[in-house]
Each structure stands twice: as C-alpha cells, then as structure tokens.
C-alpha cells in the first residue's frame, strides 16, 4: 500500500534544455520493446532504470491495470547511440519482486523482454512508494511522454505505451519506488504537432505525493 503523507506539493515545471537532448525527438528514432509476463502471477508494477542511472523511473503498468500472466504490452524507447541497456524491476500481485539487469537494446531491432520466475528477486512487502499526479494542462494531446532520472543521458521508456495518448486536461497517477538516491527527473513530452515540452522536476524530498502540471510555459 502506498504510504501517503497527506501533503500535496504543487510544482511548476520550468522550461529547460534537457542535458539529454536539446531538440525534440524524431519519432523515427524510437525503438520498440515488447514486455511479456511469464511469471504465473499478475504483475502490478514495472519500473525501469537506464544502466547509467542509480535511480528508477516511474511504473509502466498501473495505467493499464497491471499485466496479467501471459499478457504483453509494447512501449517505445529512446537512447543515444546505436545500443544501450536497461534494468527492470517488476512487482507482482503478492508484492514479490523480479529483476532483470542490463537488458540490451539496439537500433533496428525490436526488443523482447519476458519476465519469468527465474528472475525472482525476493519479497517486496516492505517496499514504499511515492506518487506523482501529472496533469496535462497544455493545449494539445501528448503522444510520447518520457520521464528520466536526471543522472542519466538517455530518455528511456515512453511511459504511455505504444497506443495510449495523454489527452489535454487529463491527469495520470505515476508510482515510483522510494529507493535509491533522491534525484530530479527530466521530462520530455511530444505532442500531436511533434512539438516538445521540456522540464526538470525538482521534487520535494519530504513529501510522498506530488502534484505536477505540464503547461504551455514548458513549450519550446
């Protein structure tokens, strides 16, 4: 269960040029990764971390209600260079954890990540989580949404999966594991006009719940 402090911090996003990229992502540069569940249990959360980071990105599954055993989801992924690698941490319905480290991805080839019992890490019942409520207050729908730890040079996984759209005016609830170093996050949103919104999220370390909005002030 998510431990909530009851304090909601409203954070304005500041326009920045991300250290990862000074320009919008060309959708043609995106690779795709298919994630499948072969654990025998429904997966509740799936977190990712670029290999060059000490921190986890947001959960990829909660917007879809988790991932049933035998199910699969597809996500877009972005990284500099011709190849990269990521770590993944999955949590099932019993809060047991599964971990895959240094999973390789390379240009021109779709990646397939199958989470299995052999990836079992141990019980995660003592895990604590932080929650970010992200609202799209821009004038346009968002087609790609990246939220990467600021200590990484890669944007990582598009948290909208390959079919979802973040409608203008809607909100999304993002879950983070409360482990690792506390770090800012870099946000990149690409809208239906292929226009970019950049921000660095400097979140309040003393709170377990944050409210953040994407607005026209973040548009480049």
The pLDDT tens digits of the residues spanning 164-174 come to 999 999 999 99
CATH number of residue 43's parent domain: 2.60.40.2890
Is residue 118 packed enough to be buried (19+ CB in 10 Å), middle (13-18) or exposed (0-12)? exposed
Provide the residue range defining the domain that includes 160: 8-26+128-218
Per-residue pLDDT at 16 exceeds 50: no
What pLDDT is recorded for position 26? 66
| Mean pLDDT, rounded, for 167-188 | 86
Number of domains the chain contains: 2
Q: In this structure, are 33 and 119 located in the same domain?
A: yes
Distance in angstroms (rounded) separating the CA atoms of residues 99 and 48: 10
| Mean pLDDT, rounded, for 119-130 | 87
Maximum average pLDDT range among 26-35, 185-194, 197-206: 185-194
In a domain, 3, yes or no: no
Distance in angstroms (rounded) separating the CA atoms of residues 181 and 162: 30
Q: In this structure, are 141 and 168 located in the same domain?
A: yes
Task: Pick the more confident residue, 188 or 1.
Answer: 188
In a domain, 1, yes or no: no
| Mean pLDDT, rounded, for 83-97 | 94
Domain boundary residue, one of 75, 108, 123: 123
């Amino acid at each position: 269960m998510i431990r909530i402090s009851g304090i909601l911090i409203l954070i304005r996003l500041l326009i920045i040029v991300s250290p990862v990229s000074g320009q919008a992502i060309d959708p043609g540069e995106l690779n795709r990764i298919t994630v499948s569940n072969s654990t025998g249990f429904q997966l509740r959360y799936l977190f990712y971390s670029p290999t060059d980071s000490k921190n986890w990105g947001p959960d990829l599954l909660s917007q879809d209600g988790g991932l049933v055993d035998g199910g699969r989801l597809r996500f877009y992924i972005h990284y500099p260079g011709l190849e990269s690698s990521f770590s993944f941490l999955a949590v099932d319905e019993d809060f047991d954890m599964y971990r895959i480290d240094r999973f390789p991805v390379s240009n021109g080839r779709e990646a397939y990540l199958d989470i299995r019992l052999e990836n079992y890490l141990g019980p995660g019942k003592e895990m604590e989580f932080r929650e970010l409520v992200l609202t799209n207050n821009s004038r346009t729908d968002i087609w790609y949404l990246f939220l990467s730890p600021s200590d990484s040079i890669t944007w990582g996984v598009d948290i909208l999966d390959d079919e979802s759209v973040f409608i203008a005016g809607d909100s999304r609830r993002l879950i983070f594991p409360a482990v690792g170093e506390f770090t800012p996050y870099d946000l990149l949103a690409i809208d239906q006009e292929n226009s970019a919104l950049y921000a660095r999220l400097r979140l309040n370390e003393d709170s377990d719940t944050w409210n953040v909005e994407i607005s026209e002030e973040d548009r480049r």
